Amino acid sequence: MAAMTGIPIWAQLINLLAAVLLLLAFAMLSQRRVLSLINLFAAQGFALACSTAIVAWATGQTHLYGSAALTLLLKVALLPWLLHRLVRKLDVRWDVEGLLNIPTTMLVGIVLVVFAFNLAAPIEQLASTITRSTLGIAMACVMLAFLMMITRRKAIPQVIGFLAMENGLFFAATSATYGMPMVVELGIALDVLVAMLILGVFFFQIREQFDSLDLKHLEKLKESE
C-alpha cells in the first residue's frame, strides 16, 4: 500500500494517529461523565506518545524518544491518576451541565475543524512537514479543547480541556518542527504538573466554600463583593 500511494508507512501511521487524536477530541467534547473524560484524555496522551515515537524513528531525532516516554509517564499514567484521585475525593462523577447542548456543541466543533484546516492550509504549503494534514488536525484539536473549556461549568472538565489543548500544541510541535529541545519539554512538563497540583488545592477550596465545583458560584461571590 505504501508503494502504491507513494507515502511511507510511518507517514501513514502518523496520519492514522492524527485522525485518532481528532476523534478523541470530539469524544471528549461530547462526553458528560467526568471519569470517562479522564480516560479519553489518557487515550489521547497514549496516541500522542505513539506519534512522537514514530516521528523519532522516522527522523532520527533521538531526543523525541525521551519526549514520548515523558508523555507516556505524565499524560497516560500520572495526570490521569491524580485526576481520578481528585474525582474520588471530591465525589464528582457526572458533569451534566453545559452552556450548550451536545448536538449544538458538536456542530460548533465541526465548524471549528473546517476553520482550522483552512487556517493551516497556507502554512502547510510553505512548511516542510511530515504529513500535509497534521498541522490542521493539531490546530483543530486545540480549538476543540478550547471549546470544551468554555462550554463546561465544572472546574475539572475545564482543567482537562486545558490539558487537551496542550496535547494539540505538542502534536503540532512534533509533527511540524520535529519537536522542541528536551530542556524546554521538561520545563513545560514540570509547569503542567505544578499547575495540576495547584488546581487540585483550588478544587478542594471551592468544594469547601460552596459544596460544589460549579464555577458560577465564583461569579456570585464576585457580585456579592
Mean pLDDT (whole number) for 133-155: 86
For the ranges 30-39, 176-185, 199-208, the maximum mean pLDDT occurs at 30-39
> What pLDDT shows up at residue 63?
80
pLDDT at residue 224, as a whole number: 47
Cα distance between residue 185 and residue 171, in whole Å:
12
Ramachandran bin of 60, using left for φ above 0, alpha for ψ from -120 to 50, beta for the remaining angles: left
Global confidence as pTM: 0.78
In the chain, how long is the greatest CA-to-CA distance?
Answer: 68
pLDDT at 142 over 70: yes
Amino acid at 192: V
pLDDT for residue 1: 43
Confidence of residue 5 (pLDDT cuts 50, 70, 90): low
Contact by Cβ (8 Å): 175, 135: yes
Nearest to 97 by CA among 154, 36, 145, 148: 154
pLDDT band at 88 (very low <50, low <70, confident <90, very high): confident
| Domain extent for 155 | 2-224
- The confidence score (pLDDT) of residue 112 equals 94
Spatial separation of the C-alpha atoms in residues 59 and 14, rounded to whole Å: 13
Q: Given a cut of 80, is residue 110 above it in pLDDT? A: yes
* 3-state secondary structure (DSSP) of residue 53: helix
**Predicted local distance difference test score (pLDDT) of residue 26:** 94
Number of domains observed in the structure of the chain: 1
Provide mean pLDDT across the span 129-154: 81
65, 53 in Cβ contact below 8 A? yes
Mean pLDDT of 39-44: 94
Task: Give dist(CA 117, CA 135) in Å, integer.
Answer: 8
Residues of the chain with pLDDT > 90: what percent? 19
Q: Which of 46-50, 68-72, 193-197 has the highest mean pLDDT?
A: 46-50
For 223, residues 6+ apart whose C-beta sits below 8 A from its C-beta are: none
pLDDT at residue 133, rounded to an integer: 67
Q: CB neighbours of 176 closer than 8 A, spacing ≥ 6?
A: 127, 129, 130, 134, 135, 138
Which of 22-26, 119-123, 133-137, 164-168 comes out lowest in average pLDDT? Answer: 119-123
Q: Smallest Cα–Cα separation from 88: which of 153, 38, 20, 163? A: 38
Q: For residue 39, give the nearest of 159, 170, 160 by alpha carbon.
A: 160
Mean pLDDT of 139-167: 86
What is the chain's mean pLDDT, rounded?
Answer: 76
User: Is pLDDT larger for residue 199 or for residue 87?
Assistant: 87
The answer to whether 129 touches 176, Cβ cutoff 8 Å, is yes
Which residue's entry shows cell 520545563? 187
With cut-offs at 50, 70 and 90, classify the pLDDT of residue 180: low
The answer to whether residue 109 scores a pLDDT higher than 90 is yes
